[in-house]
Amino acid sequence: MDLTPQQIAHFHEEGWLFLPELFTLEEIALLRREAEGIYAHQRPEVWREKSGAPRTAFAAHLYNEAFRLLGAHPRMIRPVEQVFGEQVYMHQFKINAKSAFTGEVWQWHQDYGTWKRDDGMPLPRAMNISVFLDEVMPINGPLMLVPKSHKAGDLKASHDLETTSYPLWTLDNDTVTRLVQEGGIHAATGKAGGMLMFHGNLVHGSAGNITPYPRKIVYLTLNAVSNYIRTPTRPEFIAHRDFRPIIPVADDALLQEARKVPAAA
């Protein structure tokens, strides 16, 4: 699929773009089932909240067929290649849980700040793609974006090792307040199957989830192949070292996999 000139202009101006219901309910049902199975395992790639509930599962595309297909899906790869004007590779792959009742916050931050400081990424030519596995509502901890904040560049940040189970390079309250006064806050909500694209320097965060409604989202960081990381410090399952460009699978590959699973059950 190709983005329209209007969609590309919106992305560059606002720092984000949402494509509703890009994946079918059948495709999403498969991914949701597979995510629950991954969360049930005790393995280094699965990080948990302080409560023990799953927080995120890294690198699922390397050990799960459904997520391997998602990680090379043309509906996701082609729009990013279009924006960057070159092929991309997978820098990071994670499934964030935001579990019902116990999902913790993600502090205000820019993703590129972490990629630069922890991984040695030269430029913010990487982008997060977020595929909604559950409906994301205003009440269950949606991702909150600060529109136009990507234009502020790479902002000063401090390394927060205490607030949650996952360390982040976070922004101070004064900086966030100034940016929100300029651009406001947009809550990224939508039905399962929607896909959100946002700039590596876009300021974002999310509140905790105290509702009965889980909010699982797959986050894939696609990096321009020329922008490969130089000095990684994190485990390879968090910051990948395979810089080969992604070769997209067939558009119906995920659907075909979804139709195989019930027959084998």
pLDDT at 262: 59
Fill in the amino acid letter for 19. Answer: L
Q: Could you tell me the residue ranges of all domains in the chain?
A: 5-264
Predicted local distance difference test score (pLDDT) of residue 166: 62
The residue length of the chain stands at 265
Q: At what angle do helices 25-39 and 253-264 cross, to 10 degrees?
A: 60
Q: Distance (Å, rounded) from C-alpha 182 to C-alpha 56? A: 31
pLDDT computed for residue 162 by the predictor? 58
Count Cβ neighbours within 10 Å for each residue of 166-177 and write b for 16 or more, e otherwise.
Answer: bebbbbeeebbe
Q: How many CA atoms lie within 13 A of 234 on its CB side?
A: 21
Q: Which runs of consecutive H residues, i.e. helices, occur in 52-172?
A: 65-70, 74-84, 111-119
How far apart are alpha carbons 89 and 244 in whole angstroms? 6
Amino acid at 253: A
- Rounded to the nearest 5 degrees, what angle is found at the Cα of 231, between the Cα atoms of 153 and 199? 30
Describe the crossing of helices 74-84 and 5-14 by its angle, rounded to 10 degrees: 70
Question: What fold is seen in the domain 5-264?
Answer: Jelly Rolls (2.60.120)
The Cα 233–Cα 153 span in angstroms is: 23
**Residue type at position 246:** I
Report pLDDT for 115: 95
CB contact at 8 A, 199 and 127? yes
C-alpha span between 203 and 110 (Å, rounded): 5
Closest CA to 119 of 230, 227, 243: 230
Contact 59, 240 (CB under 8 A): yes
Specify the pLDDT at position 167: 65
CA distances from 127 to 92, 140, 224 (A): 10, 24, 9
User: pLDDT tens digits, the chain, 265 residues: what are they?
Assistant: 789 999 999 999 999 999 999 999 999 999 999 999 998 888 889 888 777 787 889 999 999 999 999 999 999 999 999 999 999 999 999 998 888 888 778 789 999 999 999 999 999 999 999 999 999 999 999 999 999 999 999 998 887 655 655 667 889 999 999 999 999 999 999 999 999 999 999 999 999 889 999 999 999 999 999 999 999 999 999 999 999 999 999 999 999 999 986 544 4
Provide the 10 A C-beta neighbour count for residue 47. Answer: 17
Give dist(CA 212, CA 81) in Å, integer: 37
What tokens appear for 76 in the block? 């996701």
